[in-house]
Amino acid sequence: MNDEPEESKLPPIPEDIAEASKVAGREYTIIGGDGAEYGPRSMEEMQRWIETGRADAKTLARTSAAEDWQRLDQFPELAECLAQSGPPIKAPARPGKFQAVAVMTLVGGIVSLLWTLLVAWAGLASFLFVCCFIPSGLYSFIAGILITVQGARLLGQNAGHILPRTASSATLLIVCILAFNPICLVLGIINHWLLNDEAVRKYVAAHSGK
């Protein structure tokens, strides 16, 4: 009577099949043109990025945090797709209008903080301050911190993953009117208007990983 487990009777999986199975389930993290990391992405997604020009042979990638960064042309499973791809399509450069949005976001955040402190100091002893300004002033102060951080990060080099939050920051600026702040109201409206510009929308879509 043979007591060996059934698994031991199975023939070994050929090395080429095992390697193909391993490659098929591989995921990649890449460094985009804006310096930010994107991923993990499946091999099918990587092939689509190569075909559409969002990644090329010089794009750095790795399949796990334990591995070193390599160029995509050093991954044999992507070689055919790279060979068939045309010249890379460069992501749109940062438009001047978006740079203006970033600057106004930072300025708006700072103004929100200073405005809260100024109005609080001027109306500390007034009935209006006690009844009306304390709740809205608290909002303005917290929103000012969030907007200032967003503006500072937008002016940095690796802002890709936070670009979609820019419209939310513009809305926060508008709501600062609850603290009787007309400056932030105007900045928020201008930012929303600039964010609807076609060049700005293309830039955000191209650099936000969407």
Report pLDDT for 101.
Answer: 93
Question: Considering the chain, what is the average pLDDT of its residues?
Answer: 77
Could you tell me the pTM of the whole model?
Answer: 0.56
Which has the higher per-residue pLDDT, 133 or 206?
206
Report pLDDT for 103.
Answer: 94
As a CATH number, domain 6-84 is 3.30.1490
Confidence of residue 88 (pLDDT cuts 50, 70, 90): low
Taking residues 137-153, report their average pLDDT. Answer: 88
Tell me which residue of 16, 18, 60 sits closest to 37, measured CA to CA: 60
User: Is there a contact between 191 and 183 (Cβ–Cβ < 8 Å)?
Assistant: no
Which has the higher per-residue pLDDT, 159 or 179?
179
Q: Indicate if the pLDDT at residue 145 is higher than 80.
A: yes
- Our CA angle for 159, 40, 52, nearest 5°, is 75
Residue type, 177: I
Q: Indicate if the pLDDT at residue 140 is higher than 50.
A: yes
- Give 192: exposed, middle or buried? Use CB within 10 Å, 0-12, 13-18, 19+: middle
User: Is there a contact between 142 and 134 (Cβ–Cβ < 8 Å)?
Assistant: no
